[in-house]
Structure 1
Amino acid sequence: MKKLIFIASLLTFLNCNFKKENKHFLLIEQATWLLGNWTHTSQEGVFTERWEKLSDSTFVAESLLLKEKDTLFHENVLLEQRNDSLFYIVSIKNEEPTSFYATTIKANQIDFSNPKHDFPNLIRYQLIKKDSILASIHGKIKTKIQSQEFPMRRKK
């Protein structure tokens, strides 16, 4: 009888550990199309966004706007799945990080929202083709609804 209890306990322990090791992060897996280097050139300069997989539950990105040798804009993004939620956390130098949460996750679109943030309060990524995406930001500045679009191509 003691052997039977020991074997049952051992199997339960091994089964619990096996499940932990094989944990799947289904939400962030739907965002793998973001991974890679993206770029867009306009009169304002060259905008780049580089996405990398940090772990099974976390991607990181760096966004830059360069004009000649000057950095006009720089931010870091942490895309992280926690339990059954996907978070988009933006860090800009000398500012507190701002968190957005995924409200829409589709095969070709992800929306991140933070209704309490002034601008933007919605960040959207759309997969247009395998080598092109459209990032956009939306919200109100004072009483006027504003949006900006950032079409990007995959850099080879």
Structure 2
Amino acid sequence: MKYATIITFLLALTLHQKHNENQPKSDVTQLKWLIGTWERTNVKSGTTAFEVWKTDTENSLIGRGVSLKGADTTFVENLKIEFKDEKLYYVAEVSHNAAPTYFEITEISANAFTAQNPTHDFPKVIAYELKDNELTATISDGKTKGMQFIFNKIDP
């Protein structure tokens, strides 16, 4: 009887781990590949754009997205990835929104993540993927409308 209980417990634990394999964990260490300075490569002529990510705490990363036209700053976005209320979130704060917008991170792998907020006007889905030293950030409505931002790492 004792062995049956132990085997049942171990089996349940294994199945639970398999089910939660791609689910976000409480810390952001699995997103350490995002840390560094990234220069956007698909911008209009005369424009430069960057995203910079660094560790804030064990459970959060902070970032900033900046676009420049010449010496003039044309866009600033404060970003954060944080664990809050038992979930992992990608948080975007831009000047035209009164409050930060929270996107729940719904999928994570070794080199990618997807965050969603179905109640936000646009974007509803934000996805990052690192492939061959190129970072692609995609924002979309989750259907047909979307944009890609492609970056190369310039500083670790």
Give the TM-score category using the shorter length. 0.7 to 0.9
Which residue pairs with 1:56 in the alignment? 58
Q: Please say which structure displays the higher CA radius of gyration.
A: 1
Indicate the SS of the match to 1:33: helix
Partners of 1:77 and 1:112 lie apart in 2 by: 13
Amino acid at match of 1:93: S
Give runs of ≥4 in structure 1 deviating > 4 Å.
Answer: none
> What is aligned with 1:43?
44
| Pairing of 1:8-87 with structure 2 (within 5 A) | 27-41=27-41, 42-43=43-44, 45-82=47-84, 84-87=86-89
> Structure 1 residue 83: deviation in Å?
5.8
Q: CA deviation at 1:43?
A: 1.4
The separation in 1 between residues aligned to 2:51 and 2:31, in whole angstroms, is 15
Q: Deviations over 1:25-82 (max 9, x none)?
A: 6541111100000011421511100001011001100001111012121110111023
Counterpart AA for 2:56: L
Q: Which residue of 1 aligns with 2:151?
A: 152
TM normalised by structure 1 equals: 0.75
| Letter of the 2:117 counterpart | N
CA-CA distance at 1:109 after TM superposition? 1.1
1:68, 1:113 → 2: CA distance?
Answer: 33
Q: Percent of aligned positions with the same letter in both sequences?
A: 30
The answer as to whether partners of 1:63 and 1:76 remain within 8 angstroms in 2 is yes
Structure 2, unpaired ranges of 5+: 1-24
TM-score by length of structure 2 reads 0.75
Residue 99 of structure 1: how far off its partner (Å): 0.5
Q: Is residue 2:108 matched to residue 1:109?
A: no
Where 1:120 maps in the other structure, the secondary structure is coil
Amino acid of the residue matched to residue 91 of structure 1?
Answer: E
- The number of aligned residues is 128
Paired residue secondary structure (2:144): strand
Which protein has greater RCO, CA pairs closer than 8 Å, 6+ apart?
A: 2
Letter in 1 for 2:40: H
